[in-house]
Amino acid sequence: MSVSVQITQSLGGFTLDAGFEGEGGVTALFGPSGCGKTSVINAIAGLSRPDAGHIRVGGHVLFDSSKGIFVPPHKRRIGYVFQEPRLFPHMSVLENIEYGRPMQSHSTPMDGGLAALGIDHLMERRPRDLSGGEAQRVAIARAIMSQPKVLLMDEPLAALDDARKSEFLPYLQALVARTSIPVFYVSHAMAEVAQLADHLVVMRDGRVVRSGPLAQILSDPAAVADIGVREAGAILNVTVARSDAGDGLSELSCGAGRLYLPKVQASDGETLRVRIRASDVMLSKDKPDGLSALNILPCSVTQLHEGHGPGVAVALRSGSVDLMARVTRRSARAMGLRAGLNCYAVIKSVSVAPTDMGGRGST
């Protein structure tokens, strides 16, 4: 399902001038606080009206200033999940969810998406008796109960602590894997985005600075400055060869060979996404010997990108997999790094954070 957004809007002293195309699935709007992410999804929801441009989702034109089209919010069939669950405190979970059901509808929504949220056992409770993560899952259930054509999520994990976020993410992953409706997911946390999104829209100061398939942008060395040097890194699709390889590690197989990384919560044979941050990859011209790192992958340099700081982003190809490393200019010079050079990428097992492992393996 195609998505096309091209809008300009003056909001007080702030100017939104944002455009991107997508193919449905999960589109993440990523960028620092105040860059305009919420303003974009408010425009998609119809909660605000851009000054000019268009918003098309699938075959539906929601807004087109040149044709005078502005579909009012209640006719857009949008599900909106906010940072806080915003449940009705006097209603049970079931009543809250049923509130989202359109009148005359008796069907259960969205390809079993509701089942993915794991809230069956909570139906009789009041919102005050739910944890933050449970309440947010109920809020999502209410949103999908309306059988929306588009699901908007504005930092749905923002109010949860790190432990609750890790618990919550698998539910979101299961949900987006089961739904066919386009999801717009606002976040400034790349770990979340990397696990969920198919497409990435990077925003800054009201503008879109990058837009495209997630894996492609994250492995593009020229995009490092826009993503952030700490966040940049490749997404690998891996298959779990041995979930428990001993010593708290899992053995994972990917197009670059075998990787040993901190134990994943997944069964043998499952496919997962793993984000390998550029700052966690070291390079060596010769095959390292006697090194403590378990993951040493032969690769060749495909591209170098110098930023304004001391770092150089190095795009690498290992087997059928793209990786990225970030080294200092000084190291790059000393090693004679250039496109075509064969070298070894060294990934320290324990440096890969658990939050970077376990997303849907499908990008």
Return residues touching ligand ATP (CB under 6 A): 11-12, 14, 31, 33-39, 188
Task: Name, in order, each residue with C-beta under 8 angstroms of 38's C-beta and a sequence gap of 6 or more.
Answer: 154, 186
The least distance separating ligand ATP from the CB of residue 37, rounded to whole angstroms, comes to 4
Q: How many CA atoms lie within 13 A of 147 on its CB side?
A: 10
Query: Would strands 249-254 and 257-262 be described as parallel, antiparallel, or unpaired?
Result: antiparallel
The least distance separating ligand ATP from the CB of residue 224, rounded to whole angstroms, comes to 20
The least distance separating ligand ATP from the CB of residue 208, rounded to whole angstroms, comes to 12
Q: 230 and 278 in contact (C-beta within 8 Å)?
A: no
Task: Name, in order, each residue with C-beta under 8 angstroms of 30's C-beta and a sequence gap of 6 or more.
Answer: 37, 187, 188, 190, 193, 200, 201, 202, 203, 227
Using the minimum distance from each CB to ligand ATP, give the nearer residue, 82 or 270. 82
The least distance separating ligand ATP from the CB of residue 42, rounded to whole angstroms, comes to 7
The least distance separating ligand ATP from the CB of residue 171, rounded to whole angstroms, comes to 22
Using the minimum distance from each CB to ligand ATP, give the nearer residue, 62 or 116. 62
- CA–centroid distance for 235 within its chain: 11
Using the minimum distance from each CB to ligand ATP, give the nearer residue, 208 or 261. 208
Return the number of other C-beta atoms located less than 10 Å from residue 108's C-beta.
14
Q: Which of 58, 4, 327, 360 is nearest to 214 (CA)?
A: 360
The least distance separating ligand ATP from the CB of residue 84, rounded to whole angstroms, comes to 13
Q: Which residue is nearest to ligand ATP (CB)?
A: 12
Q: 180 and 149 in contact (C-beta within 8 Å)?
A: no
The residues pairing with 21 across neighbouring beta strands, listed in sequence order, are 4
Which helix or strand (DSSP H or E) is residue 258 part of? strand 257-262
Using the minimum distance from each CB to ligand ATP, give the nearer residue, 188 or 275. 188
Using the minimum distance from each CB to ligand ATP, give the nearer residue, 6 or 39. 39
The least distance separating ligand ATP from the CB of residue 321, rounded to whole angstroms, comes to 32
Q: Which of 31, 30, 22, 82 is nearest to 57 (CA)?
A: 22
Using the minimum distance from each CB to ligand ATP, give the nearer residue, 38 or 295. 38
Sequence-ordered alpha helix ranges (H) in 112-161:
113-116, 132-145
The least distance separating ligand ATP from the CB of residue 11, rounded to whole angstroms, comes to 4
Alpha-carbon distance values, 179 to 7, 97, 176, 187 (Å):
27, 18, 5, 20
Using the minimum distance from each CB to ligand ATP, give the nearer residue, 12 or 336. 12
Using the minimum distance from each CB to ligand ATP, give the nearer residue, 11 or 229. 11
